[in-house]
Amino acid sequence: MKQEEKKISRGYDNELRMEFDAVSCNESFARMAVSAFIAPLNPTMEEMADVKTAVSEAVTNAIIHGYGNVQGYIPGHMQCPREISVGKVRMYCRIEGDVLAVEIEDDGQGIDNVEQALEPLFTTKPELERSGMGFAFMEAFMDDLQILSAPGRGCKIVMEKKLGSMPWLEEDE
Amino acid sequence: MEADFQVIDNYLMVKMPAEIDHHQSGAISRKADSFLLRDSIQGIVFDFEDTKFMDSSGVGIIMGRYKKISCLGGRIFAIHADRQIRRILYISGLSKIVEIME
Ligand SMILES: Nc1ncnc2c1ncn2[C@@H]1O[C@H](COP(=O)(O)OP(=O)(O)OP(=O)(O)O)[C@@H](O)[C@H]1O
Ligand SMILES: [Mg+2]
- The residues spanned by each domain of chain B are 4-101
CATH code for position A137 = 3.30.565.10
Instruction: Decide if A94 is inside a domain.
Output: yes
Alpha-carbon dihedral B86, B90, B96, B102, rounded to 10 degrees: 20
Domain carrying residue A76? 12-164
User: Does a structural domain hold residue A171?
Assistant: no
User: Do B65 and B44 touch, CB atoms closer than 8 A?
Assistant: yes
The predicted-structure confidence for A97-122, as pLDDT tens digits, reads as follows: 999 999 999 999 999 999 999 999 99
Residue A5 lies in a domain: no
Q: What is the pTM of this model?
A: 0.92
**How do residues A25-61 score in pLDDT, each as one tens digit?**
999 999 999 999 999 999 999 999 999 999 999 999 9
Interface predicted TM-score of the whole assembly (ipTM), two decimals: 0.93
By CA distance, what is B94's nearest residue in A?
A: A131
Q: Which residues of A touch B (CB under 8 A)?
A: 24-25, 27-28, 31, 46, 49, 52-53, 56-57, 60, 63-64, 71-73, 120, 128-131, 133-134, 136-137, 140
Task: Print burial letters for A125-161: b (CB count within 10 Å at least 16), e (below 16).
Answer: eeebbbbbbbbbbbbbbbeebebebeeeebbbbbbbb
Active site residue A5: no
B18 at A interface, C-beta within 8 A:
no
CA dist., res. A145 & res. A140, Å (int): 9
Nearest CA to ligand 1 atom 17: A134
Domain-located, residue A78: yes
Tell me if A28 is assigned to some domain: yes
In chain A, how many domains are there? 1
Residue A7 included in any domain? no
Atom of ligand 1 nearest to the CA of A135: 18
Q: Is A24 exposed, middle or buried (0-12, 13-18, 19+ CB in 10 A)?
A: buried
Residue A169 falls within a domain, yes or no? no
In a domain, A2, yes or no: no
Q: Which CATH class is domain B4-101?
A: alpha beta
